[in-house]
Structure 1
Amino acid sequence: MIRTLRTLALVFAALAVGAYLWHGLTYEPGSAWEPSYLGWLNGFLALPIIALTLVIMTFAFTASGIVTALTGNNTGEFRDAPLGLGTVKSFGHTGVTLNDQPQVRIDFSVEGADGKIFDATAKTIVPLTELALLTPGVVLPVRYRPDRPGIVQLDLSGDSAAAQRVMNESMIRKGFTTREKIDIAARGITAQAVVQSLTVPGEIRGGHSLVAVGLAVTRPDGSTFTTSSEKFLPPAAIGNVQVGRIVTAHYLPENEREVVLSIPVNA
């Protein structure tokens, strides 16, 4: 759709400029007193002006990030594209604004659905109140095209289940979790637990540290039981499992020894 609009704008511009040139080159004064420059300075001059304005507006409003901001959806070429995980490396302003909201260029390290890692960029309009969230290390779901992996778009589908599936597969590939634990998180009872102890065995995997957490879990009926759980966490998330913190846990009633913690990705 974007390519079609841009093509139509360029075709119109070519026809408008061609009509103006044809009129100027073939113009013949109506009398000996009529200046020859009127062949160029007349109503036909509006054609290239209108065409230039139209081309600029079309390319501006179909620029990367502008269409998605205006429609709230990914563009057609990315709408059904594979979903990946983009880790923010850096970002900067492009100088473009829409309704006083800046457009930013975000540099990502993207992990595709097949596990391959590649660098990519995205341009998007970000509300001023959300700029502080774009810190290096933040993970965001992105849409990418395998045939053009250098350009991505932030996923605007709102399909959190699909994003969670991609995250789960990524964590399994990296050895951070297992399918059994993911099944517990999906089917198990959701409960609150208090961290009673925290030890760090020293194992590091993919920049994540293994932590062993002692928990006091509260059942739905108000009773409690104690257990422990191991989890690989990035350094920034260790603070979420300090002693005394309340965390979200999942467990199956028939096996209270196996408890899975839910820690936000960008905690």
Structure 2
Amino acid sequence: MRTKARAAALVFGAFAFAFYLFHGFTADTTDPFAMPWVGPQLALPIIAMTIVPIVFAFTGEGILQAFTGNNSSEFRGGLVGIGTVRSFHHTGVTVNDQPQVRVHFSVEGMDGKVFESQARMIVPLTELALLRPGVVLPVRYLPGRTDKVEVDLSGDAAAAQRAMNESMLRKGFTTPAKLDIAARGIQAQAVVRSLSVPGEIRDGHTRIDLGLVVTRPDGSTFAAHAEKFLPPALVAGVQVGRIVQVHYLPGAEQEVVLALPVNA
């Protein structure tokens, strides 16, 4: 859509100026009152000089997505990867007083390979504080092209979750059995009763072992154990006495799975 809109604007601009020049050079100059370069024929070039810059501005990276709420046609069918924000800065462009930012990502693709990339996007002022280094976002990328990505706007939570699950499996943060519990298990609340840190670190994540008291939907409780690899920012959320969300399978309550937000 972006390419078609820009192409249409350029075609219109070329037609407008070609018509103006044709009219000026072919006008009857024997008429003393003739004004071949001034008159209604000026309207088309003026309109073109107004429309073409506007089309190019509003089809810029991140701007069209902000208006449509969708990814560009180029990236709409792209693969889903896991993007970790490294840094961002303002581009100087604003749309409806909302700033455009260029975000630098470290992206883990579906094949497990990591590459550096960037994306431009319009961020509402109310959400700008949430965009900080370490934040994880699903992104769309094109195979064989790593210079640019787009934050996934499809709303396909299942695709984003699959990409996250595959990433955690590759890094050894979870197991297929735990993913099954998270997918099919009963959601419940638990209180952290004990916390130990064995000292194992994987990819900047610390392993923690938790002793939990889980409350079933009927109000009864049971003791359980859970282990998880967490980034430093999430460790504070599992201190002794904290209430956490868990999943468990009836009849197999000896193991529960923590359900923690990706971004603290």
**TM-score, length-normalised on structure 2?**
0.94
2:17 paired residue number: 17
AA aligned opposite 2:3: R
Task: Show the 5 A alignment for 1:1-267.
Answer: 1-31=1-31, 33=32, 38-267=35-264
The offset of 1:163, in angstroms, is: 0.9
SS of 2:74's partner is helix
Q: Distance in 1 between matches of 2:168 and 2:251?
A: 25
SS of 2:167's partner is helix
AA aligned opposite 2:258: L
Structure 2 residue runs without a partner (length 5+): none
SS of 1:68's partner is helix
Deviates more, 1:201-210 or 1:74-83: 74-83
**Could you say what the CA RMSD is over the residues aligned between the two structures, in angstroms?**
1.6
SS of 1:115's partner is coil
AA aligned opposite 2:197: V
Q: Distance in 2 between matches of 1:222 and 1:5?
A: 59
Deviates more, 1:205-214 or 1:98-107: 98-107
**TM-score, length-normalised on structure 1?**
0.93
The offset of 1:79, in angstroms, is: 1.7
Deviates more, 1:238-247 or 1:118-127: 118-127
Q: Distance in 2 between matches of 1:17 and 1:251?
A: 70
Q: Distance in 1 between matches of 2:217 and 2:23?
A: 83
Deviation per CA, 1:171-217: give whole Å up to 9, x if none: 00011001110001111121111111111111110010111111111
SS of 1:221's partner is coil
Large movers: runs of 4+ above 4 Å:
none
SS of 1:136's partner is coil
Q: Distance in 1 between matches of 2:121 and 2:153?
A: 11
Q: Distance in 1 between matches of 2:56 and 2:112?
A: 34
SS of 2:174's partner is coil
AA aligned opposite 2:96: N
Q: Distance in 2 between matches of 1:262 and 1:76?
A: 34
AA aligned opposite 2:166: E
Deviation per CA, 1:117-147: give whole Å up to 9, x if none: 1122111111110000001000011111114
Q: Distance in 2 between matches of 1:128 and 1:260?
A: 35
Structure 1 residue runs without a partner (length 5+): none
